[in-house]
Chain A
Amino acid sequence: MYQSIAWYATLFLVFLLALAFAIVYGESRRLREYGPIQEKGYKIRKFYFLGLLAVMGFASAMSLSKLPYHNQHAVAKEHAKVVEVAGLQYAWEFSDENFTVGEEIQFRVTSKDVTHGFGIYNTKLELIAQTQAMPEYTNTLTITFEKPGTYKILCLEYCSVGHHVMMKDIVVKPKGGNDHEL
């Protein structure tokens, strides 16, 4: 979802920007005194500045309440399954590889050598969550798989010449083990 929001928001805003530059370019061959242009320009700029502030404030308010860090420092919830994950050149080690739809999973991610990126891709190969896998540190990523199928774990931080082969498949089973849902 956020990928599409980012894509269309960028297209829209860059289009507006291009329009502004095109209009100014179109008007650039005419000549008028600069003083009145500055005076009017500064007045418009106040509203433009306030508008940008409002948009940024709204985006901050909307997005900062949904941070993915909430379980980083919290004690693991009783109902959540804790899975220890370690990245190493060029593989992923899991303490448990049994996953079921609807089950909350807390991936506790670290690294045994260099920094890696722990990226979870869904069955359509869309990135749905990630955190860094760093030596000496543990990052807790909480996720609930909503659909059954084969998910992929891809390395998303450059970790040397085998970076692109650092992939792992995990299978998420349907609730109650109904294979036909696959």
Chain B
Amino acid sequence: MNSEARSFNNKGVALALMVTSVVLVLMMIFGVMMLLNQGNMIKISPQFFYKIMTIHGTGMIGIAALGGSAIMWYFLSKHIYLNSKVFFSNLILSLFGVILILTAIFGFNFSDGWTFLFPLPAYSSGLYGKTGALLFLSGMLFLAIGYLIMYFYLAVRLTMEYGGLHKTLGWDYIFGGKKGYGPPPAAVATTMVIITNSIAILAGAYVLVASILNIINPAITIDPMLAKHLTYAFGHIFANCTIYMAVIAVYEILSKSTERPWKSNKAFLVAWNCSTIFTLMIYTHHLLMDFAVPKWMLIVGQVFSYANGLPVMVVTAYGALMIVYRSAIKWDFATSMMFLAMFGWVAGAVPAIIDSTIVVNHVMHNTKWVPGHFHTYMGMGVIAMIFGFMYYFNKTEGAQKQNSYDKLAVFTYFIFFTGLAGSFLYAGKISAPRRWAEHLPQWTASDQVGAICGIFIAGAALVFTTRFIIGLTKVSNNTIAEELKSAS
């Protein structure tokens, strides 16, 4: 890639990371406010609570996807040519979607949660007016279209480079007996994300359009159960894919830092093919308490949720441990975050898998156990990967150096995130419901512990973000210097 294209690419990645880091801190502050209110430490109105709950969920998933796609784009562009304009188009559509969503929530009182279960938005539009619901659903649709365009472009590029998505997933190695190693891990992971997330987005787009039409004309309806399937197929897979995009940073950074290869051998390719299939199948674990769903489908939800833990536990996390073991790795901010993020991912998968057991789900579904496990693998997994990548980006493309504040911030982030996740899981153990603006006195102690931990986490995230934004100035200086050098 020439320096001009690289510079344009880096600008897109830097901009996406900047938006990600700033929004992340804001969303963390909203999260802390919710816990403070549940713990009776502050008093906000229920309507405001549910508004910030809606933006917290939407915003966190949105920025995890944006940060993850920045990682995916950056590393994939090291292996194949990518046109940065496509990345910018996704960024612009995402930001436009975010503006619509923010206007819906804070301008028109939309507070139906990021999973917008049909027919809730239609009912709420009867109370608060149609504008809020229409703006929110349209905003989500713009976000979806942005990602769909990007995935379509990536599918075309990967097909041109490797001869088809089946080849990028290594089918000629798995089934064709081809020897050696498959495409780079970044390409394999991207292919999995393209396939699963495109299907998820199409499912989401269907239910979004149906909901919009239903609000405009109530005579147009959709079956609530079908809508629920489509909503969770979208939400579950979209959230999962944030990890599968971000984990590319683990492959690339740990491999480079240990000077050991992390190549796509047969086990690696089989694992990613399994993840592709399982991720599409297991959204039904969100419907385990919908007894009207065919039983076989719910059993599939449990069994394949278990199975979906295997690729990460047996291949990716195990691979991270193996590559670091006796490697004389130089620990810095980026490598520490990648290593700890793999721990966070698997640590979050454990309570998630347990919750997908139907008899357990029967007494833990929609308690705080659920945010307990997804805060673990999102906060200590995906977000840690994104923060680690931010430092790596500034160090590689600029001149960022680690200081003692970074070490302290990493320590603070993980220690208090363990406390936060523990407080959520414990609250789930004692049956505290999730998404309640006010909690009964029996549950408030866990909320208070979570709130205090959340304050420290937000503080650490503020340090990461500030350091990243300051470090970006050196990235732009270096890029200009390189451009001048190449011009001369």
Interface of B is mostly: helix
Q: Which residues of A contact B430 (CB under 8 A)?
A: 3, 125-126
From A4-12, A78-86, A171-179, the one touching the partner chain is A4-12
Q: Is A100 positioned at the interface, with any CB of B under 8 Å from its CB? A: no
- CA of A25 to CA of B331, assembled, Å: 10
Residues A6 and B440 in contact in the complex (CB < 8 Å), given A32-B326, A154-B433: no
Residues A69 and B291 in contact in the complex (CB < 8 Å), given A4-B429, A5-B360, A160-B111: yes
B347 touches A69 (CB 8 A): no
- CA of A113 to CA of B430, assembled, Å: 29
Q: Is B447 positioned at the interface, with any CB of A under 8 Å from its CB? A: no
- CA of A4 to CA of B429, assembled, Å: 7
Q: Which residues of B contact A24 (CB under 8 A)?
A: 321, 324-325
Number of B interface residues at 8 Å Cβ cutoff, please give it: 79
Residues A67 and B363 in contact in the complex (CB < 8 Å), given A34-B327, A60-B303, A136-B224: no
- CA of A13 to CA of B317, assembled, Å: 15
B326 touches A30 (CB 8 A): yes
B438 touches A28 (CB 8 A): no
Q: Is B442 positioned at the interface, with any CB of A under 8 Å from its CB? A: yes
B310 touches A63 (CB 8 A): no
A137 touches B292 (CB 8 A): yes
Q: How far is the CB of B94 from chain A (nearest CB, A)?
A: 25
Interface residues in A128-156 by Cβ distance below 8 A to B read 128-132, 134-141, 154-156
B363 touches A49 (CB 8 A): no
Q: Is A87 positioned at the interface, with any CB of B under 8 Å from its CB? A: no
Q: How far is the CB of B302 from chain A (nearest CB, A)?
A: 7
A121 touches B318 (CB 8 A): no
Of the residues B115, B260, B339, contact of A21 by C-beta under 8 Å? B339
Q: How far is the CB of B15 from chain A (nearest CB, A)?
A: 33
From B95-103, B350-358, B449-457, the one touching the partner chain is B350-358
B362 touches A137 (CB 8 A): no
Chain B minimum-CB-distance residue to A31: B328
Of the residues B111, B290, B298, B322, contact of A38 by C-beta under 8 Å? B322
A17 touches B366 (CB 8 A): no
A125 touches B431 (CB 8 A): yes
- CA of A7 to CA of B339, assembled, Å: 25
B302 touches A158 (CB 8 A): no
Most chain B CB inside 10 Å of its own CB: which residue of A4, A34, A45: A34
B306 touches A56 (CB 8 A): yes
A161 touches B425 (CB 8 A): no
Task: Supply 30 A–B pairs (Cβ within 8 Å), ascending by A.
Answer: A2-B362, A6-B354, A6-B428, A6-B429, A7-B429, A9-B354, A28-B325, A37-B325, A45-B314, A49-B314, A52-B314, A53-B310, A59-B357, A60-B306, A67-B358, A67-B359, A68-B362, A69-B295, A69-B298, A125-B430, A125-B442, A129-B363, A130-B362, A134-B228, A134-B290, A135-B224, A139-B292, A159-B120, A160-B112, A164-B438
Closest 3 CB pairs of A and B: A31-B328, A127-B431, A139-B291
